[in-house]
Amino acid sequence: MLENVDLSKSVKNGEYKESMEALEAELGELQRRAWELKIPIILVFEGWHASGMGEDINRFILPLDPRGYDFHTMTVPCYEELLKPFLLRFWARVPVRGKIAIFDRSWYSRAIIEHYGKEKYEAGLEKCLEGINYFERQLADDGYLVLKFFLHISEKEQKERFKEIQKKGIPLILDEYEKSNGKTLDFIDEYNEYLPVVEKVLQKTDMPHAPWTIVEANDRKFATLKIIMTVTRAIKARIEEVTRTPGKQTIKYLEIGTPKLPDIQGSVLKQADLSKRLPYDEYKEQKKLYQHRLEELQYDLFRQKRSMVVIFEGWDTAGKGGGIYRLVEELNPRLYRVVPVGSPNDTEKAHHYLWRFCEGVPKAGHLTIFDRSWYGRVMVERVEGFCSEEEWKRAYREINEFETILREGGAIILKFWLHIDKETQLERFESRQNDPEKQWKITAEDWRNRSKWDLYEAAVEEMLQKTSTTDAPWIVVESADKRYSRVKILKTVVETLERGTEILKKPEKLKN
């Protein structure tokens, strides 16, 4: 991409001044209009050192209302960020709808810095770029305008600018200076060494939904004009798109949901044997056995710097709370966390739906248990109409990609669907309603959801079939008998941890 860039492009002072006056006024107006329409915008700036990124970004933000943008300089990640999957630190900086997020260097620089020169760096960088493509496409599909700029200068021009910078005594990097094996890893030196790496990154991540704009930056004024003109045109086009009435749309968008597969296995839920029971004595014995084993395994997880995500979904009254309680009963609270998930608040609604779950993702060596999760997108939000059909169909792929990012960051993932039949649920509803100490557990919303059992059942079936993967499987837990359900959960977590942490010792089998 870079070898054919014409770096001789320039602009005259008079033309630059006249164009900038008009563009600045237009950019300010476009920012206000995008805010009104709740259009979220992400601008990524990458480039060679001394290419003028700082000056160009500053010239760009001067006409903007500072309340409407956030500026992020991506420097060395903190200790907590390094303990989580790579992309989570960037998910945290995704803007609310209507705001502009400006990244002075981004996930791209960090991907190169954190992989280049390391063992198996080629494979690691490939995986990282694949995750970045997932990340950007999910944001674009959710309405984010993603624009990426690479400021390109020649090696000769870079050397001349370095001389100027050194004369003025300005540090090349204001926030970081990383070295590995005695070599700087931030595009400062070795222009030709990094050129093929940069080329590869640009080629593999130049997508229609998140395109790269190569900015010829040998002439500083030309670079500034090109950046602002590109952004204004893109925002104008997006405003036109979102304000166009449906009857005037001329583009027929392709179906992007997961295709409906033939039902070759029958119902996943109907295969569950709800007659399974566990006698009380066996329950007490096996619960104690697995809880003690789990207490040991949490320290192996910590020592090996692996993380674990356990998701609990299921019918109301299926026993999620009781299952979670028994799972953590003997654990060290410093190493686990339970995240209850309810309806999103206003801030969470103003972001991509996956944004609110990133904070709860465990750091290396820790366990997070989600009491309900991102699967609400394809269940509650689907059935209740809180998102469009296009959005929930797209979510199957997005969730699988999100979990891939977590796994490649070292997480072990387990997903439990606690299953009961409709009659058992009714008995438990009535029991709660008639018990003064448990009446708080039953609400009008629970009864209303029960009236949509068939709709929820269809949504659950599709979810189980489309999001159960080899590395992040759904485990259907027969929960008509709570004792059996709780022991199966404990047993599954223990055996999964043993496999994931490569520990050979096995506890006794669960008796059926």
Residue 310 sits at φ, ψ, to 5 deg, of -120, 125
Burial class of residue 407 in the structure, from the number of CB atoms within 10 Å of its CB (0-12 exposed, 13-18 middle, 19+ buried):
middle
Question: pTM for this structure?
Answer: 0.84
Triad 421, 425, 426: Cα angle to 5°: 120
- 269-500: what fold? Rossmann fold (3.40.50)
What is the number of alpha carbons within 13 Å of residue 339 lying toward its C-beta? Answer: 19
Classify the phi-psi angles of 242: left when phi > 0, otherwise alpha if psi is within -120 to 50, otherwise beta: alpha
For residue 190, the model assigns a pLDDT of 76
Predicted pLDDT of residue 14 = 92
Structure token digits, residue 55: 């000056």
**Structure tokens given for 164:** 């100027």
Rounded to whole angstroms, how far apart are CA atoms 463 and 395? Answer: 10
Could you tell me which of 363, 410, 402 has the C-alpha nearest to residue 82?
363
CB 217 within 8 A of CB 51: yes
Q: Are 392 and 378 in contact (CB under 8 A)?
A: yes
Q: How far apart are CA 177 and CA 118, in angstroms?
A: 17
Residues 457/318, Cβ–Cβ less than 8 Å: no
| Closest to 361 in 3D by CA, of 124, 89, 76, 79 | 89
Nearest to 275 by CA among 423, 414, 416: 423
Assign domain 13-248 to its CATH architecture.
Answer: 3-Layer(aba) Sandwich (3.40)
Distance CA 468, CA 475 (A): 9
pLDDT reported for residue 249? 43
Predicted pLDDT of residue 361 = 96
Tell me what pLDDT residue 275 has.
Answer: 95
Q: What is the pLDDT of residue 104?
A: 94
Handedness of CA 167, 172, 175, 179 (dihedral sign): negative
Task: Return the residue matching tokens 């309806």.
Answer: 343
Given a contact cutoff of 8 angstroms between Cβ atoms, the answer to whether 47 and 249 are in contact is no
**3-class secondary structure, 40:** coil
Nearest-angstrom CA–CA distance, 497 and 70:
40
Q: How far apart are CA 204 and CA 460, in angstroms?
A: 35
329, 288 in Cβ contact below 8 A? no
What are the structure tokens assigned to 91, written together?
Answer: 């998910």
Report yes or no: 331 and 364 within 8 Å, Cβ to Cβ: no
H helix intervals, 37-104:
53-61, 79-82, 88-91
Distance CA 449, CA 384 (A): 9
* pLDDT tens digits along 385-441: 999 999 999 999 999 999 999 999 999 999 999 999 999 999 999 888 888 888 887
Q: What is the pLDDT of residue 10?
A: 94
For residues 416 and 314, the answer to whether their CB atoms sit within 8 Å is yes
pLDDT number for residue 173: 59
Strand partners, 412: 308
Q: How is residue 20 written in tokens?
A: 């900038």
| Tens-digit pLDDT string for the chain (512 aa) | 788 899 999 999 999 999 999 999 999 999 999 999 999 999 999 999 889 999 999 999 999 999 999 999 988 888 889 999 999 999 999 999 999 999 999 999 999 888 877 777 788 899 999 999 999 999 999 999 999 999 999 999 999 998 888 888 776 655 544 444 444 445 556 788 889 999 999 999 999 999 999 999 999 999 999 999 999 999 999 999 999 866 544 433 333 344 343 343 457 898 999 999 999 999 999 999 999 999 999 999 999 999 999 999 999 999 999 999 999 999 999 999 999 999 999 999 999 999 999 999 999 999 999 999 999 999 999 999 999 999 999 999 999 999 999 999 999 999 999 999 999 999 999 888 888 888 887 888 888 888 999 999 999 999 999 999 988 999 999 999 999 999 999 999 999 999 877 643 444 454 54
User: Measured between alpha carbons, how far is 335 from 283 in angstroms, rounded to an integer?
Assistant: 26
Torsion on CA atoms 269, 361, 105, 193, rounded to nearest 10: -80
> Given strand 367-371, what is the order of strands in its sheet?
336-340, 367-371, 307-314, 411-419, 474-478
Residue ranges of domains in the chain = 13-248, 269-500
Q: What is the separation, in whole angstroms, between the first and last Cα of the chain? A: 61
